[in-house]
Structure 1
Amino acid sequence: MTGRVLVLGGTGEARRLATALVADGVDVLSSLAGRVADPLLPPGEVRIGGFGGAAGLAAWLRAHPVDAVVDATHPFATAMTASAAAAADVTGVPLLRLQRPGWSAQPGDDWRWVDSPEEAAEAVRGFGCVFLTTGRQGLAAFAGLTAHCLVRAVDPPEPPLPARTSVVLRRGPFGVDEELALLREHAVEVVVTKDSGGSMTEAKLAAARTLGLPVVLVRRPPLPPGLPTVATVDEALTWLRGQPG
C-alpha cells in the first residue's frame, strides 16, 4: 500500500476512502475546499482551504511529498479536478479520479437534460415554483427568475438570488418521505439539479417521480483526457495497493 496519500475530498466517497486507508495504517491527508462552515471531517489529518490553482498545488506537492493523490471531489468540482491533473502531470505524482456514476432514469421519470446552470434557468422559465438543488455556489445563474424559488443548503447562500427565494437550511441525506413533504409544502412544479449521482441525494428524484414533476438535470462536465478514473472506493483501494511507496 502507498505510504502517504493526499485525498482531495468533500464527498462521502472521500470520507469512506480516508476511513479505509486510516484503518489500514496508511498516512492520509484529506484536503477540503472550506466552502462549508461546519464540514463532516474524515479520520486522519485534514487541511482546509484551496491550493491556489494548478501551480499552487504543484508547489505544495513538491514541498509536501506524497506517494499518490486521489481526487475524490464532487463531480462538478471542475476547477479542482483540472488543477489536480495539471499538477500531477508536472510533478509526476500518480493521480486517480474517484467519481461515482451518474444517475439513470427510471420508468415514470420526466428528465430534461441541459449543459449548464444558465440553460437550466432558461428551461424552467414559466414554472410557478422551482426547487433549486444545484448547490449554493451556482445560484447566480438563476437570479433573473421571477418564479418562487426554493433553495436548500447547509449554509446560507450569498446573493445574487432570485427575487422570490425561500431558503431551507438543512444537511442531508434526506429520505423520500421528507422530500415529498417538502415538495408538497411549497407546491413545487419543477426540480433543478446536477447529475451528482450517488444515493445520498437521489431521494428528490424519487419524490419528483412520485408526484409526476419534471426534473431539469445539468450534465456532468468532461474529465481531463487520459485521467485514470474509478467509480468505487474499493476500486480506488485496489489502485492504491498497486502503487509503489
Structure 2
Amino acid sequence: MIDKVFNKSIKKQFEFDEEVASVFDDMLNRSVPYYKEMQRLTINFALNFLEKDYKVFDLGCSTASTLIELGKHCNKKLNLIGIDNSQAMLNRASNKAKAFGVDIDFICGDIHDVDLSNANLIISNYTLQFIRPLQREKLIKKIYDSLEKKGVFIFSEKVISSNNVLNKQCIDEYYEFKKTQGYSEFEISQKREALENVLIPYTEDENKKMIKDAGFTHCETLFKWVNFATFIAIKE
C-alpha cells in the first residue's frame, strides 16, 4: 500500500500502529535514502560472520524485511528472531515470512526486557533513535554483554551534525529527497511534527562513543548518506 499517513492533519505523536504498519514498507523505501543499499550491505557483511545454527536478533524488526532477506541469502540454517513492540508490525512480518518460506521466531515485547543471550549477530535498523538516551546506552551495554565472542552488532540510524549550519543543510537535502519520492511539503511537515521528541538522533561520533563505552573496541561506518548512517561493531 502507498504511504498516505501524513496527508492529513496529525492528532498524535508518531507511533507504529496499524495504520503505519499497513504502509510501512512503502514508507521505508520512500523515506530512508538508499534503504535497499543499506539493507544489502547489512546482509553482505553479516554473512561473513555467520555459521550454522547461529542466533540472530533483529531489534525493532517491523515487517521483518531484513531478516527475510538474510534468510533468503544465507545457505546455512540460522536461528532468526525478530523483536518488536508493535503487534500490528509482527502480524505483517509473520505473513511475509511465511510467504517467502523463511523460518523466523517473532517476539512481541520491549527490547529492554527480552533475553538476547548467546547472540551471534544483532541487527538494529533505525530503532535506537526512538529510545531515550539513558535507556539507549543501557541497551547498547545489554547488546554487548549478550553477544558471544566475535559477535557482531550492525545498526543504522538517522544522525545529526554538530555544526548547526551543516545540520540545517542536511535536513534541507533530506526534505528535497522526500519530495522526489512524491511526498508533499504538507506531508513532510506533518511527519516532522509527529516525530518531534519521539525520534532523538545522535551525531555519528556520539553513536560511536556510545558503542565503545559499552565495551566494543571498534565501530566502523559502513554507509552514510547526508544524515543517515549504517555502523558495524565486533565484540573481540
Q: Give the TM-score of the pair, scaled to structure 2.
A: 0.43
Higher-helix-fraction structure: 2
Per the normalisation by structure 1, the TM-score is 0.42
